[in-house]
Copies of this chain bind each other. A is one copy, B any other.
């Protein structure tokens, strides 16, 4: 029987391919991405991750089994103890390297809508809904980095691609996807349609998150 995660991903078709081949990441891999845009992206991440944590808080509160509760608690620990500090370090690093502010300390439309999607899904949905909302982020990061890991002339981008394209993260996402299938278990066709719809929104949100960071305007600088 086809795994639920596979069904979800295949139901997205081209949207998934467009997500993992997005322009922002392509420019990172090519080394041509302006560092200011990367700073903007990291700053948006630091607005997004607390919303991700809130989603997981609701998910713990509403968890339907103790296995779900443990899974969401573990994901929450990862966000608060690992990912937020890692993004803070990366931000400090790019500021140190001279990246200018493009206004990323205020959440842009994609960041706001993505956060609302996560919180809303977990505040009213079932545990399997939260899994479907969580998957696109980690899974696409693993896929993106795997495609570009050999590239990246710029040291910061190389570092970023190295983390997400490295064996540890690849194993992490594989396990995450496997666990997702085990937790969700068998689905009715009604449930599966809802999960597809949630997963598709997650993929749309990831794409908008990258494209917002890509399209933020870099003011031309006067020669110093």
Map CB proximity to B onto A36-73 as digits: 1 under 8 Å, 0 otherwise.
00000000000000100111111111110010011011
A117, chain B: closest CB distance, angstroms = 5
A51, chain B: closest CB distance, angstroms = 8
Residues of B within 8 A of A154 (CB): none
Residues of B within 8 A of A112 (CB): 117, 201
Query: Size of chain A's interface in residues, with CB distance under 8 A?
Result: 35
How far apart are the CA atoms of A76 and B72 in the complex, in Å? 11
Q: Is the CB of B66 within 8 A of A73?
A: no
Q: Is the CB of B76 within 8 A of A124?
A: no
For this complex, 21 residue pairs linking A to B, each with C-beta atoms less than 8 Å apart, are: A50-B66, A53-B69, A53-B73, A54-B62, A56-B57, A57-B57, A57-B58, A57-B61, A57-B63, A58-B58, A58-B123, A60-B60, A60-B76, A61-B61, A61-B122, A62-B124, A69-B80, A73-B81, A77-B77, A109-B201, A113-B116
